[in-house]
Amino acid sequence: MDRQNPTTPPAADAGRREEDLRARRDAWLESLDLPDKCRLLFELESLLKGLDRFFNIQNLPLANMEQAITINFIEEMEIVLQFLDRVAEISGRLLEASNRQDYQFRAYVEHKLLGDYERTRWREAALEQRDPEDSLFTLYSAFVNIRELVRGLLRLPQVSYTLFFNSGSLINREIIANRYFNPAREISFRPEYDRIANRRIGRIIRSITTPELQRQVSIVVLAFNRLLQYLRFVDPQRESVEELKSSLLFFALIHSESKYLMEFMERNLPERLQAIGNGQATAFAELCDSLAFQLQMELKKIHAGELTNLSKQKKLDLVRVAVENSHGIFVNFFQQSIYQILKLFEPALTGEEIFPAFISRKRQSVKLREDIAALDALMNKFEEITETTEAGQKLDTYVKYLQLQKAMIARMRSETLPLMRHQDMVEFEKYFLFVDDLSLDDLHLMDVLDKFKMQSKFFKIFVETTLGLMENRSDLQGTPLDAQRVERMLKRFVAQFLK
């Protein structure tokens, strides 16, 4: 056992122990004959960190956080079970690659063949975790045990907050106690999975001549890149509701890590950059402060909007739209953030040079304005029909209008809402939900029809106000709305609807 030198500061001694553990783990990883070992290890550590953060309800998109004690967490525990299975599976694969194919037999011996005292000594030896293989076996055994407990909990009609919280505490304890595989210990970057493949990004950062500024830029870019990597585990095209809901674990992890990044950019970074005292450092500090505020708004848009109560949703289409929109919002923001940072140091840089599917802020604003203008044009045409023609007195006209609105809302949910600011999105979503709840037969009831007319009229005023405010955006200055293009867009939409 390592002994602490009484003349060595505790922090320095702890730092050396951490370095020794990292060196041993690196040597173990290098020795593995497994083609995808780095990908598997990154997934394992992402899952462990995600499980740790998932049990903090501040990271969950719950509609009523104050009444968490009354919530049935059974759907959340179903998500947890999926990833307990996956952690056990990955741990097993890594143990096999470590020439420890006996790990399942060891577990059998521990539980079935040993007496009480022998079992205690066996466990004590394993818990010393002298090498990465022992740590993996400890992790594997613990998660198999916890998995069975969770399966038992899922047989209950309700999983209370107390059961949910204490299950998380058990998992958290096992992660913290693991010597070699504890990603929850600290935020750190590792070359085996944080290396940025795009060489242009590396060249721009290396071109920064002030060493401390270069270091701080690297930290922020790597942090945003790590968040992008977490999003690779989110697949909006999954076929089942359960698979799509499993994305909530990674969104909880991104929510938590984003909070740490915001705090770093708002509090720690300014102090570090102030000492540099040049124009680039000042510009970088101001940009990061702006990005921190924008990130807070994006988190609110997703956490208090797109994903709210998603674990309770049963409809596949609605779950997929929420996951797809949230994934798109995050990818867009994280890519935009990296691009804006790098553009400070290379003004001629374009987003497409570092991200093939990059869409500039200006193009996003133009699309958003055109989509909202198309909706406004649709509402204007029906208002004109209802107020100036005999068709406006017929129920069929309103039925067709409702059908068109439902179709346009479905398109805007996937293509337009992710581009909106949170405060605008809230009002749009409120009206969209109102339209979702209306059936065509409902319009045969006079009071429902009158409510539809009134709500449409109020919403149309909000749409027009939003369009007017958009003209003040800096990225739209000098780019007037192309009314003819909007008219063509609307005609194509109506033609496709009538097919």
Is the domain of 231 the same as that of 139? no
User: What was the pLDDT predicted at 211?
Assistant: 93
Is the domain of 183 the same as that of 214? no
* Structural domain contains residue 205: yes
Q: Which helix (H) or strand (E) holds 367?
A: helix 361-388
User: What was the pLDDT predicted at 244?
Assistant: 95
Q: What is the DSSP string of 194-259?
A: H----HHHHHHHHT--SHHHHHHHHHHHHHHHHHHHHGGG--TT-SSHHHHHTHHHHHHHHHHHHH
pLDDT in tens, 432-490: 989 989 999 988 999 998 898 899 999 999 999 988 888 887 778 778 888 999 899 88
Q: Which helix (H) or strand (E) holds 273?
A: helix 269-274
Q: How many CB atoms lie within 10 A of CB 486?
A: 19
Residue with tokens 């940025």, as numbered in its chain: 196
Q: Tally the domains of the chain.
A: 3
Is the domain of 153 the same as that of 21? yes
Domain limit, last residue, from 326, 353, 380:
353
Is the domain of 399 the same as that of 265? no
Is the domain of 70 the same as that of 215? no
* Structural domain contains residue 367: yes
Is the domain of 401 the same as that of 483? yes
* Structural domain contains residue 6: no
Residues 172 and 459: their CA atoms lie apart, in Å, by 47
How many Å separate Cα 346 from the centre of its chain? Answer: 29
How many Å separate Cα 264 from the centre of its chain? Answer: 19
Q: Please name the residues in contact with 464: beta carbons below 8 A apart, sequence gap of 6 or more.
A: 376
In terms of Cα–Cα distance, which of 129, 42, 128, 137 is closest to 99?
137
Residue with tokens 């690779």, as numbered in its chain: 232
Give the C-alpha distances (Å, rounded to integers) separating 229 from 43, 171, 334. 10, 24, 10
User: What was the pLDDT predicted at 1?
Assistant: 39
The series of mean pLDDT values per 10 residues for the chain, 499 residues long, is 49 69 85 87 93 94 81 95 95 83 50 52 62 88 93 95 94 90 72 76 93 94 94 91 95 96 93 89 94 94 89 90 90 93 93 80 84 91 83 84 89 82 81 90 90 91 90 80 90 83
pTM of model > 0.75? yes
pLDDT in tens, 199-238: 889 999 999 999 999 999 999 999 999 999 999 999 998 8
Is the domain of 149 the same as that of 58? yes
Q: For residue 370, what are its two tokens?
A: 């055109």
C-alpha count within 13 angstroms, C-beta hemisphere, residue 423: 4
In 128-198, where does DSSP find H-type helix? 132-153, 161-177, 191-194
Q: Which helix (H) or strand (E) holds 382?
A: helix 361-388
Residues 328 and 420: their CA atoms lie apart, in Å, by 12
* Structural domain contains residue 434: yes
Domain limit, last residue, from 311, 326, 353:
353
User: What was the pLDDT predicted at 420?
Assistant: 82
* Structural domain contains residue 426: yes
Is the domain of 107 the same as that of 154? yes
Domain limit, last residue, from 148, 165, 187:
187
User: What was the pLDDT predicted at 150?
Assistant: 96
Residues 36 and 46: their CA atoms lie apart, in Å, by 15
* Structural domain contains residue 344: yes
* Structural domain contains residue 96: yes
Long-range contacts of 315-321 (CB under 8 A, 24+ apart): 315/241, 316/240, 316/241, 316/244, 319/241, 319/244, 319/245, 320/236, 320/237, 320/238, 320/244, 321/413, 321/414
Rounded to 5°, angle at Cα 165 from 162 and 167: 105
Q: Quick check: 144 and 107 in contact, CB under 8 A?
A: yes
Is the domain of 300 the same as that of 387? no
* Structural domain contains residue 3: no
Is the domain of 370 the same as that of 419? yes
Is the domain of 86 the same as that of 39? yes
Is the domain of 251 the same as that of 396? no
CA dihedral 344, 345, 347, 348 (to 10 degrees): -140
Determine the structural domain holding residue 165 and report its residue range: 16-187
